[in-house]
Amino acid sequence: MFYWLFKILVVPFFYLVSLIPFFLLYPLSNLFSFLLYYIIGYRKEVVIHNLKKSFPEKSQKEIKKITKQFYIHFVDVIFETIKLISISEKRFKSHCRFNAEALQTFESFFAKNQSVVGIMGHCGNWEWAAIAHQFYFKQRITGVYQPLSNKSFDEFMFRLRSRKGGHIIPMNQVYKQLLVLKEKNISTTLGLIADQASPPESAYWCKFMNQDSAFFYGPEKIAKKFNFPVLYLGVKKIKRGYYEMRIKVLCENPNLLKEGEITQRYVNELESDLREQPFNWLWSHRRWKHKKPVQNT
């Protein structure tokens, strides 16, 4: 019942929202961010706790300012993601662009028919950044996602993320898909958002934002298994509704690096971006919900 109500009522509503011009969309976003911050208090304690732990040098006034900036940015991302339903290629490119070095880096690998692993965090508008590859390049992209528990919303997001021909697959199909592409000599950009909290027993543990943090080994393991270069995608918010993406080559020959070195390089780049734009990350998720296991001596 809910599935059909979602398709009949919610999806058309989202389409209508996507038609709202940007100059009207952001006042609407301001209203919703006000409600989230002042009235609903959506995960407010989590956000403030995460910021205080990550930026112990900042005053209470500074933390409060970043918190408010985060809620505005967070709601902007939601509305901007809905805009993907109807936004034109030209309009999208005017709002979300790769810098010249990033374009050149990608093209240099594509010219060699070289597959790469692209990893990023929940920075800027990560949904726009994830789909940007489809707007800018002809090279195949294989986006990896975790299926959502709500079937209706999962189907909606799947269609949105693959609207321009992107190949979106669940995490448990990555190795199988890459082996098929290898047999067919088809190169791809494997896209991964890699800043979720990993299960503590199998994680790469490091200091990130002043805290013991568990990161997934997955991107590094995939890169080493297939010997794919690893690229970090950083997303900077230039101004409201405008993002610039940069590329940092973390390694070209992953099998020459020690275990954990690729992941650590990713962590370093991600932290550098967060310190430059503290509001520009998904502070509402429980990134530090796990404790580092005690090592037996």
Place of tokens 């690998």: 109
pLDDT greater at residue 33 or residue 161: 33
Give the amino acid at 6: F
Domains in the chain, number: 1
Residue 265 has pLDDT above 60, yes or no: yes
Give the model's pLDDT for residue 1.
66
| 265 domain-assigned | yes
CB of 219 within 8 A of CB of 194? Answer: yes
| 48 domain-assigned | yes
Instruction: Tell me the angle at which helices 60-83 and 44-54 cross, rounded to the nearest 10 degrees.
Output: 120
Its domain, for residue 113, covers 2-276
Mean pLDDT on 55-64: 98
Reading the block at residue 117, the tokens are 């692993």
CB of 279 within 8 A of CB of 192? Answer: no
Residue 78 has pLDDT above 70, yes or no: yes
Residue 296 has pLDDT above 60, yes or no: no
| 297 domain-assigned | no
Give the model's pLDDT for residue 54.
98
Reading the block at residue 8, the tokens are 């009949």
Give the closest residue to 82 by CA, choosing from 173, 14, 175. Answer: 14
Dihedral over alpha carbons 98, 104, 108, 110 (to 10 degrees)? 30
Give the tens place of pLDDT for each residue, 219-263.
Answer: 999 999 999 999 999 999 999 999 999 999 999 999 999 999 999
Give the tens place of pLDDT for each residue, 146-176.
Answer: 887 888 888 888 888 887 777 889 888 999 9
Burial of 250 (0-12, 13-18, 19+ CB in 10 A): buried
Give the model's pLDDT for residue 207.
96
Place of tokens 């290629």: 89
| 33 domain-assigned | yes
Residue 36 has pLDDT above 50, yes or no: yes
Give the model's pLDDT for residue 9.
85
Reading the block at residue 150, the tokens are 């709500």
| 142 domain-assigned | yes
Give the model's pLDDT for residue 150.
82
Reading the block at residue 94, the tokens are 């005017």
CA distance 290 to 149: 22
CA distance 15 to 12: 5
Residue 77 has pLDDT above 70, yes or no: yes
Residue 15 has pLDDT above 50, yes or no: yes
Share of the chain above pLDDT 90, in %: 81
Give the model's pLDDT for residue 6.
79
| 288 domain-assigned | no
| pLDDT level of residue 145 (50, 70, 90 thresholds) | confident
| 128 domain-assigned | yes
Q: What is each CA distance from 174 to 95, 148, 181, 229, in whole angstroms?
A: 30, 17, 11, 16
| pLDDT level of residue 297 (50, 70, 90 thresholds) | very low
Give the closest residue to 235 by CA, choosing from 141, 142, 125, 133. Answer: 125
Bridge partners, 246 (sequence order): 234
The model's pTM is: 0.94
CB of 118 within 8 A of CB of 126? Answer: no
Give the tens place of pLDDT for each residue, 238-250.
Answer: 999 999 999 999 9
| 285 domain-assigned | no
